[in-house]
Structure formats: structure tokens, C-alpha cells
Structure 1
Amino acid sequence: MEIREQLSGKLLGRTSQKCLLDIEVYKQRSLMYSQMEGTIAVLSDMQANKSYIYKSEAADELGLCEGENPTEIDSIWEEEIMKKIHPDDRLKKYIHELRFFNLLEAMRMEERKAYSVVSKIRMKDKNEEYRWVKHRMFYIYSPCNGKLRFALCLYNIALSSSAAPDFTIINTIKGEMVVKDKLDYKNILSPRELEVLKFVGEGYASKEIAALLSISINTVSRHRQNILEKLKVKNSTQAFKDSFY
């Protein structure tokens, strides 16, 4: 099963007790972000499995269709934006967001609002060339049922193009970064493990990965186990484990 499907299962977790947060309030906040920061703001409603996309002038630079503002889609995944992200960065984005979800789930409700994701990803622009884009993501939990209700994603064209994509989780209240080495798996997985991880995220089975990399299926299985152990996800999330088996 693909990593995104596992993440969807987590984000769309159902409950009989509905969240009473007023979505119109959060729509207005998303609109404000897009207008004041020149950002593309995506508000995803986990309860309704819908998203609302607010586009500023930055959307033109990235070659995104204008359409209505907001554009409403029947999914928590903004496919028009996702398909512009570099494939390697897209996979890293999904994995990082799953780890962010699990980090917050382990916290008390009152602690969660302090944390957000900040990352730098490559996206194709209107000329079909990759540009650096700053991505920020915030989770809003329901006080009614304790479940994740909204995710707000902000996309800004970055000021610089230095180094490789950077995925971090920060505490905005304390101005602290969650220990980077524990989150940036690029620094703790071998090149071969990263190759295996990429194919796993694309939905390939172990036998297919073995053929693509010209290695034995036992070697693929060993790499998968190493990935789980190095990322320390074997016990923290069964869903992430399932995506590798």
C-alpha cells in the first residue's frame, strides 16, 4: 500500500462525534494568508474530505490554473499542486507529514498548537523548470472530539535555492526545532535504502523492487527492515509499517 494511502487513513480517521468548529472562520483565515503573504493557501477539511484552495499572484508563477477563488475540491489532496512537486520531494513530504501527525498524536491537546512543519521543496513553475518553494503546514484539532479537523498548507516561492530540500518541525512558541537528525531521514538512510524507500512509496512490491535494482528479494526485505529500525517507526505507527510489507 502506498504511503499516501496510509497517511490518508490517519488524517481521515472517522468519529461519530462531529467537530463543531466553524469552517467559515478558517476559510477567512486562509484567504487572509493568501492575500497578505502572496501565498497559495490550501485549507483541508478532514471531516468532509474537502479542500479549499486560495491562489495569489504566486499561482501564476507556478503555472497553476486560476479558476475560482477559492477552488473547492472533493479531496484533502490538492492534486494540481502535488503533481508539480518533484517526485523525490513529494515522497519525503508524505513521510514527514505522517511523522508530524504521530508526533502531535502523542502530545496533549493543549501542546499541539505550538507546532508546525516548515520545509523547502522543488516545484515546477510556468516554464516547467523546478523552483524552490517554502511550504508551511499547521494542524487544527477539534476541541469537541480531539480529532484532527483542518490542515492549512501555505506555499510561497522561496528567496533562495541553496542546498537540498529541508524538512523540519518547529515549536513556534519557543522558537525551537525538533531535533533535525531524528526527522531528516535523508541523513540516516543509506543511498540504497533511499532507493528502496522511493520505490516503496510508488507502490512497488518487493519482487518488483528487486528486479528494478538487480538485487535479491531477501536484500530488499533487509533494506525495508533497516528503514523501519532507523526511522524508529516500527512501534509508533502500524500504518507506516504496513506500507513497507
Structure 2
Amino acid sequence: MEIREQLNDQLLDKTSKKCLLDSEIYKQRALMYSQMEGAISVLSDMQADKSYLYKSGAASELGLNCKENPVEIDSIWEEEMLKKIHPDDRLKKYIHELRFFKLLESMNKEIRTDYSVVSKIRMADKNGEYKWVKHRMFYTYSPYNGKLRFALCLYNIALEMSSIPEFLIINMAKGEVIVKDRLDYKSILSPRELEVLKWIGEGYASKQIADILSISINTVSRHRQNILEKLKVKNSTQAFKDSFY
């Protein structure tokens, strides 16, 4: 299953008991973040299956042509933003979102708001060159049905690449790092495994990958299994394994 499809199944609120949180309040918060921090702010509503993208000066730097503010998107996926992310980093972003979701789902609901994600990703700018961007993500759960209702993503053009973590889950209330991931795919996987991983991240099935790389489907399956084993050896979480089934 493609990682995004798995995320869709996990994130979208399909319960019959509706959340009564006022979405306009959260839209105002997203707007405030974009104005105060110069960030591109994306609020995703899991109940409505919609997103709202709030622009700032960073939007122009990244070549986003946002005529409206916010831009309303009929999906929880902000495609204009996502397609600018480097393919390797986009795959990592999806995997890390799945890890974050599963971690919060395992926690007591009263403390979920204490946690957030901080990471760095490469995004193409208005000239087509990749810039380092600081990405932060926050989840809001419904007090009415206990389901994830809103996800807020903030994108800031980074001041210094080296000062930004690859991926962190932090407890904001305590100022503690809960998960720190230093996984370097290029030092773990072979060039061919990296190719297979890239196409998996783009949502291609094994047969399609086999055709693209001119190898057998059995070879693709072997590469997939090797990827799983290698990532597991490097103490990655179960989310990595889940992402490739």
C-alpha cells in the first residue's frame, strides 16, 4: 500500500460521531502563525477532508502562486507544497507523519497536545533550486470523538541548515526530545535499493517498478525485503515496516 494511502486511512475521520470544534477558530490560528512567523501555514481538517494554505513572503520565495489567502484545497494533501519537496524528503516526511500519528495514538489523550514534530526538508524555490526548509507539525484531537481533527504544518525557509534536526518528536511542555532520527538512507541502502525506495515513495507498485528499472518483479520483491531488514537493523520503528506493505 502506498504510504499516502495508508496515511489517508489513518488520518481521515470517518466516525459517525462528529467533532463540534469550530474550524474558523483554527483557521484564524493558522493565519496568525503565517503572519507572525513569515511561515507558509497549512491547516488540514480531517473531518471535512480539506486543507487551507495561508501564504507569507516565503510563498513567493518558493514560487507558490497563491492568488487567494487562504487557498482552499479539497483534500488533506497540499499538492502545490508537496510537489516542491525533494522526492527523498517527501518520502521521509510521509513516514515520519505516520510514526508521529502512531505515537500519539498510543498516548493518553490528555497529553497529546504536548507533542510536535520538527524536521528539515529540501524544497524547490522560485528558481528551481532546492532550499532547506524548517517543517513543524502539530495535531489537534477532538474532545467529542477522540479522533484527530486538525493538523497544522508550518514551513519556514531555514536560517542555517546545520542547526535544524533531521527529524524530532518533542515534548513541548517539558522541552524534551522523545524521538530523534538520524537515519541516513544513503549509508544504509545500496544504489539499487535507493532507486526502489524512491519509486515506492512515489506510489508505484512492484510490477511498475520492475518495468521502470527493467528488472524482474521477484528482484523488486527481494529489494523491498532487504530495505525492510536494513531499516529494522538500524533501530527504525515499526512504522517503516508498515509503510512498505
If the TM-score is normalised by the length of the shorter chain, which range does it land in? Answer: 0.7 to 0.9
Identity %: 73
TM-score relative to the length of structure 1: 0.87
Asked if 1:22 corresponds to 2:13, the answer is: no
Asked if 1:141 corresponds to 2:132, the answer is: no
Give the Cα separation in 1 of the matches to 2:103 and 2:184.
15
CA contact (8 A) 1:42 1:54 kept: yes
- Secondary structure of the 2:136 match is strand
1:2 partner letter:
E
Q: CA deviation at 1:72?
A: 1.1
Counterpart residue number, 2:123:
123
CA contact (8 A) 2:186 2:194 kept: no
Q: Map 1:94-109; keep pairs closer than 5 Å.
A: 94-109=94-109
Question: Aligned-pair RMSD on alpha carbons?
Answer: 2.5
CA contact (8 A) 1:19 1:145 kept: yes
**Alignment CA distance shift 1:49-1:195 (3 Å):** same
**Alignment CA distance shift 1:13-1:184 (3 Å):** farther
Number of positions where the alignment pairs a residue of Structure 1 with one of Structure 2: 239
**Alignment CA distance shift 1:170-1:186 (3 Å):** farther
Counterpart residue number, 2:195:
195
Counterpart residue number, 1:113:
113
Counterpart residue number, 1:74:
74
The one-character-per-residue Cα deviations of 1:161-211 (angstroms, maximum 9, x if unpaired) are 349981221111121222324x74638842354433222122333344345
Q: Where does the alignment leave 5 or more consecutive residues of structure 1 unmatched? A: none
- Secondary structure of the 1:72 match is strand
2:37 partner letter:
E
- Secondary structure of the 1:113 match is helix
1:143 partner letter:
P
The one-character-per-residue Cα deviations of 1:114-158 (angstroms, maximum 9, x if unpaired) are 111111111111111111111100000001000000000001000
**Alignment CA distance shift 1:98-1:54 (3 Å):** same
1:146 partner letter:
G
The one-character-per-residue Cα deviations of 1:1-25 (angstroms, maximum 9, x if unpaired) are 3211111111114101000111111
Give the Cα separation in 2 of the matches to 1:223 and 1:164.
31
- Secondary structure of the 1:140 match is strand
Q: Where does the alignment leave 5 or more consecutive residues of structure 2 unmatched? A: none
Give the Cα separation in 2 of the matches to 1:187 and 1:206.
21
Counterpart residue number, 1:175:
175
**Alignment CA distance shift 1:134-1:115 (3 Å):** same
CA contact (8 A) 1:85 1:121 kept: yes
Give the Cα separation in 2 of the matches to 1:202 and 1:171.
31
Asked if 1:44 corresponds to 2:44, the answer is: yes
CA contact (8 A) 1:89 1:165 kept: no
